[in-house]
Amino acid sequence: MGTIRYIEHTADAGVEIGAASREELFVLGARALYQLVLDYDAVGGELERRLELAASNFPELFHAWLAELLYLLDAEGLVFKKFGLAFGRRDTKLAATLWGEEIDVERHRPHGEIKNVTYADFAVERERDGTYRARVIFDL
């Protein structure tokens, strides 16, 4: 199983993620984002949403993924718990099915807000052993 480690960053929040696969990297990235703003353990998965993303490279696709999840959280009040991910050629496209629900203030107990997924210190790398490492800073 992968790892999420939160790191301190001036006026922001950072996270370092270690994952065994690209799918796990994207799931842990979502979890890291959501855990910064609400009680993620309380999230259910009845509502289904599909999305497609494209980017010029894999790190940009990961950034676009996090930015899209943040948009859905802010604009539509949606949070997701389960993810079906299908990567396209050269890992620059993603077709995803997400299961989650609308935020319930009583159950999810929101406790913060993320303004943006920044490019400051942003990095996504595939290690020699095939695992993935990412570093993301969120503007709070």
pTM as predicted: 0.96
Distance between CA atoms of residues 8 and 115, nearest Å:
16
Q: Which amino acid is at 53?
A: L
Cα 74 from chain centroid?
14
Express each pLDDT in 117-138 by its tens digit: 999 999 999 999 999 999 999 9
Q: Tell me, what's the pLDDT at 101?
A: 98
Instruction: For residue 119, give the amino acid letter.
Output: Y
- pLDDT confidence bin for 14, thresholds 50/70/90: very high
Number of neighbouring beta carbons within 10 Å of residue 107: 12
Indicate which CATH number applies to the domain containing 119.
Answer: 3.55.10.10
Residue 11 has pLDDT above 90, yes or no: no
Domains identified in the chain, total number: 1
Structure confidence at residue 27 (pLDDT): 98
Structural domain containing residue 69: 3-139
| Residue 10: predicted pLDDT | 74
- Tell me how far apart the alpha carbons of residues 37 and 95 are, in angstroms, rounded to a whole number: 25
Number of other residues whose CB lies within 10 A of the CB of residue 5 = 11
- Which structure tokens are listed for 27? 């799931």
